[in-house]
Structure 1
Amino acid sequence: MLMSLLNHFENLLDPKNHAGAKTPANDSATRPVTMASQVHLTIHYRQVGSTIELREPTVLAGAVGDHVTIPWVVIPGYVLTEITGFTAFFPAESGPVYCEYSPQIAGPVIVYHRDTQGRLLEPPEVLTGDINADFEAYALADNVDQVVGDAVQTGQFTGHSQTIRFTYQLNALEAGTPPDQTEYIEVLVPKSVYLDPTATSPLADVLPAHTFWRVYTLMRETVTNQVWLNLGGSQWITADQTQRRHTMAFLHGPDQLALPSLHFAQTNTPMRAVGIATGGSDGVTLWSAPYGHINGTRLGSGSRLKITSKADLDDGSSWYQLKSGDYVMAQYVEL
């Protein structure tokens, strides 16, 4: 509506639409312009149906018949809907022109802060203001150096809602020390399970409340401080709504948790080599002996290993003995 209104008045101002028209301006070249021949136009900026002035009026002065250039003004919170007294040329007598504005509510601006995995770092921020007013959206103060793109985004409030997005490249996870393997955690409420801490959606199955689990790996998000627990394999849960337990209520005693005693004939071959652990994100398990007791710590992937011997068992498995005396399965070591 506003654009059609302005286009109409621009057509009136176009000299081509007045070619050949005899106006006092045609004679202005043959007569001098004096102060007495000047007229004034006062441009008022008012709210529709009211005498409220939304800003100071503008006064234009010119000779009768001269072209008039009316300054169109953008007023935050209002849109121009009507012009009364419009003229393309200075009239013979001074008079007013009324630019009338209607109040309009601006649509909100929603600001999202997400990491590169699509996870929200904070609840969405809502910016509000007057229509046509400028706005600025800022990246999180603690993560300005991690923003992908501009840390400040600007725009103007309109009649429609708008969305601003900030994306952050985070050093998301750091390893922690998991509980001792003689301890458990109890899940206090039904818990969603994820393939890994960076997954954006959970698996279909949910862990039942009041079940007990061992924790094999612990990771912490460096920005949100969210702690993740690995319950074995690709099963990760958040640490909230869990409780550390020294015993498991469903067992009669800790002896029932001992691994079965396995005896396989083995052939030991002395060797000297350096290998690299390749156990993926979960790392590599350390054993006291082939199929012996699991030590409490795990080696991270990429760790350098000093190998002193190799054990080949008659079940087809191969093991490397490290300089520390611990064993690792050969399939998780690259020589």
Structure 2
Amino acid sequence: MENNLLKNSVKKISRDDIKIAVHYIDSNGNKLADSTVLTGHYLDNLTMPWKTIPGYVLSSIKNFQQTFIPNSDGIYLIYFTQIAAPVIIYHRNTMGELIADPQYITGDLNKSYQAKPLPEAQNFLVDIPEKVTGRFTDKVQEYEFIYDTMQMADYDIPDNLFIKTKNNVPVYDQPASKSPLSEPLPYDTIWRVFKAVRESYNDAVWYNLGGDIWISNKEDITTLILSQFSEKQKLLNNPLAANVNNISFTYSVINSMDIERNVQVPFNNDQNITMWETPYGKMSEERYHGGQDVYVKKLLQLDNNSVWALLDNGNYIESKYLNF
């Protein structure tokens, strides 16, 4: 009889009849998530069902227990609100320059996020982060997308295309450059365009105004077609006009100096040097290369501070491409 009672007692306490409710609340007692009810054998180990709740961090536990023992009140996991640090996304070109303002992604702590490239520049992506998803934490996280936005294509223009400045506008030594030259183009002046290229990324058009002078169509300018002009138009009211009457009418000569000697094109120049029929006028089909000798008759300084070498064949080269 005693043995039967003992067996019944052991059988009774070994059943799955211990239920523990785990509640998820904030510091004010508000419910944050559905409660979890755990069922187990008496004195078995109890594994706590932790939960990650976006925007909150676990701060304390009430009625904590590690085994299944009767607990009519249940266990309370108490969370405090916490602001997550932002995720910052940088969009740069292959030169390391930002092509857009940094993006800030914000969200609740522990909530998931995904970093994405610029929709309009996806075709120019060349490097993306290894991982673009994660969860907001209390620390700032950063991502960087790299785009090849420097792709250029020739852009057809009329032979008699000019630009007119509507303000003092910056010019650059190459298309898509971020560093303007020291002197801007002055307000209300007209400049001839010799060629143009277009950026594939944003369709910006860059006009070449002669030599290493480029201006973007994004500047405060307007384009116009001049149907009548002369490449050899004489300079008016210029004391040097008698000596230099084969110059583009866009500029004035402010100084000149006779040279009459051979000068060499630098060896370290990695491209052929352009020769001009007139400064900033019509380009000659003939080119000079590194190491080649040229005979310079005169140096001319224009009112844009450029200096040009007049060659014995009547053509011109910018003096910066020569070794004097």
Q: For the residues of structure 1 that align with 2:16 and 2:205, how far apart are their CA atoms?
A: 82
In structure 2, relative to structure 1, the CA distance for the partners of 1:161 and 1:242 (3 Å cut) is: same
Partner of 1:268: none
Task: Give yes or no for contact 2:17–2:40 (8 Å, CA) kept in 1.
Answer: yes
Distance 1:292 1:196 in 2: 18
Within 5 Å, which residues of 2 pair with 1:59-98?
Answer: 59-98=37-76
The aligned residue for residue 265 of structure 1 is none
- Measure, in 1, the Cα distance between the counterparts of 2:192 and 2:282: 14
Please name the residue that 1:192 is paired with.
170
Structure 1: which 5+ runs fail to align? 1-29, 248-252, 263-277, 303-311, 320-326
Q: Contact between 1:285 and 1:294, CA under 8 Å: does it hold in 2?
A: no
CA contact (8 A) 1:110 1:127 kept: yes
Deviation at 1:216, TM superposition (A): 2.9
How many pairs does the alignment contain?
A: 262
Give the Cα–Cα distance (whole angstroms) in 2 for the partners of residues 116 and 107 of structure 1: 28
- Please give the residue correspondences for 1:105-254 in structure 2 after superposition, counting only pairs within 5 Å: 105-150=83-128, 153-170=132-149, 172-178=151-157, 180=159, 184-240=162-218, 241-245=220-224, 254=233
Partner of 1:256: 235
Please give the TM-score of this superposition, normalised by the length of structure 1.
Answer: 0.62
Contact 1:114 1:168 (C-alpha < 8 Å) held by counterparts: yes
Measured on the aligned residues, the alpha-carbon RMSD in Å equals: 4.2
Q: CA deviation at 1:232?
A: 2.9
Amino acid at match of 1:260: N
Amino acid at match of 1:90: F
The residue identity in structure 1 corresponding to 2:192 is R
- In structure 2, C-alpha distance between the alignment counterparts of 1:96 and 1:293, rounded to whole Å: 87
**Contact 1:40-1:95 within 8 A present in 2 as well:** no
% identical aligned pairs? 30
Compute the displacement of 1:171 (Å): 5.4
Contact map agreement 1:117 1:200 (CA 8 A) in 2: no
Q: Does 1:42 find its partner at 2:21?
A: yes
- Please report how far the alpha carbon of residue 301 of structure 1 lies from its aligned counterpart in structure 2 after TM superposition: 11
When residues 176 and 145 of structure 1 are mapped into structure 2, their CA distance, relative to the original with a 3 A threshold, is closer
**Partner of 1:26 in structure 2?**
none
Counterpart residue identity of residue 206, structure 1 = P
* 3-state SS of paired residue (2:114): strand
The answer to which of 127-136 and 85-94 deviates more is 85-94
Deviation at 1:297, TM superposition (A): 8.4
- Is 1:33–1:63's contact at 8 Å kept on the other side of the alignment? no
CA displacement at 1:37 relative to structure 2:
7.6
Specify the alignment match of 1:11 in structure 2. Answer: none
1:270-309 map, 5 Å? 279=271, 284-285=274-275, 287=277, 295=282
Shift, 1:77, TM fit:
1.7
**Structure 2: stretches of 5+ with no match in the other structure:** 1-8, 227-231, 248-269, 298-309
Whole-Å Cα distance in 2 between the matches of residues 293 and 92 of structure 1? Answer: 95
- Aligned position for 1:305: none
C-alpha displacement at 1:60, in angstroms? 1.5
CA distance in 2, matches of 1:86, 1:293: 85
Aligned counterparts of 1:217 and 1:183: Cα–Cα separation in 2: 9
Q: Counting helix residues as a fraction of each chain, which structure ranks higher?
A: 1
Shift, 1:42, TM fit: 0.9
Q: Name the CA shift for 1:122/1:137 in 2 (closer, same or farther; >3 Å).
A: same
Structure 2 length normalisation: TM-score? 0.64
Shift, 1:299, TM fit:
8.8
- Counterparts in 2 of 1:229 and 1:206: CA distance versus 1, 3 Å: same
CA offsets per residue over residues 231-252 of structure 1, 9 Å max, x none?
A: 33333221221122456xxxxx
Matched-pair contact (CA < 8 Å) for 2:22–2:35 = yes
